[in-house]
Amino acid sequence: MTFELLKHKESLIFNGLIALLTVGSQQLFSFFAFSCPCRYTWNLTYGLAFLGVPALILLIVGVVLNSQTWRLFTNSASRFSIKDYSRQSALIRYKLICYVLLSIIGRALVAPVTWLAVTMLHGSYYVCALSVYVNVQRYDFFKNVSAEVRRNTLAQFPCPQLVPANLTKMREEILLELKCESQVTGWILIALVAVTVFLILCIARCCSPLSYLHLWYWTNYINNEQTLFEQATDQHSKIYAMENIKKFFGFAPGSKHITDIRIPSRDDWKAISGLDLLQVINADHCNYSLLHSWAEEDQEDGKYIHLDVAPDSADTVTPP
């Protein structure tokens, strides 16, 4: 029962693991890498960079690592799976593309949204970025100073070692206010994401043409089909590659009682050495490697050596 539950909730579990890894990475990143410059010309840029750049990188990585991305971009519109090109089929095609795009973006947003939420709850990046722009009109100290002095003083507040002793209490109040703003923003972000996900799931289930049990069956079928397809692909490619290797060396890996082996010539070695991995032969067929291309050509039998004793049985011969 536990295995079946985990199998059917694999998407939720995967998203949870991504969120946990993002939280851990953020904590380590903040501890080892973040150090506010405490200069009014750099605070905003530095803080926003630590907020936005990791989130953008996580978003790009999430899109790149999703197999649906490459399925979508590899297939052009002219080779789409829907064969009927009527107006209705075109509408279905565009709906499917939009659905896949939303699915890709939704999965990819888990890590960056988690990063933004955790960093806003932590507050350090927000304090560093906006310390210069906090409203300090209620403090008498800043009423008789120039704008440049005010900016320089506020920019130093994230660094306690740079703040004079007479401004310690004021600094604590301002930093507490900024942290409260940051945490409230983080909770608002979490609430918006939760409500959005809930509404999308409700709308998707209401608009689904399948019943609950039919949708459950469809999900099982897709998972099982993908698993079996991967197993068949692995076995098929091994058999296909083994035939080409057998033609090159004269025997297949794992063969017993090998009596002859083929000695590849220098031209044979040159033919299979290189970086070309895919060669299109015609509209229906292609060669997947240089060895595959070599095996498809009409090759001479080449030089063979006869073995008196099979290599795999030589170790089992008992001494006289």
Question: Which tens digits make up the pLDDT trace of 261-299?
Answer: 889 888 889 888 877 767 777 777 788 888 888 888 866
CA gap 311, 258 in Å, rounded: 7
User: How many domains would you assign to the chain?
Assistant: 2
* 319 in a structural domain: no
Among 106, 100, 152, smallest CA distance to 131 is for 152
Residue 135's φ and ψ, nearest 5 degrees, are -80, 115
* 318 in a structural domain: no
* 305 in a structural domain: yes
**E strand or H helix that includes residue 240:** helix 212-249
Same domain, 289 and 170: no
Range of the domain at 279: 239-312
Residue that is last in its domain, among 220, 255, 283: 220
The reported pLDDT for the residue numbered 239 is 93
Alpha carbon distance, N-terminus to C-terminus of the chain: 60
List the pLDDT tens digit at each of the 320 positions of the chain.
Answer: 554 544 455 566 666 667 777 777 766 766 666 788 888 889 999 889 888 888 898 899 888 888 888 878 776 544 544 444 556 667 777 777 888 888 889 888 888 898 898 889 888 889 999 988 888 888 888 888 888 888 888 889 888 888 888 888 888 999 999 999 999 999 999 999 999 989 988 988 888 888 889 988 988 898 899 899 999 999 999 999 999 999 999 888 888 888 888 898 888 898 888 777 677 777 777 888 888 888 888 666 778 788 875 455 444 444 43
Whether 295 contacts 248, CB under 8 Å = yes
Same domain, 45 and 156: yes
Residue 64's φ and ψ, nearest 5 degrees, are -65, -40
* 88 in a structural domain: yes
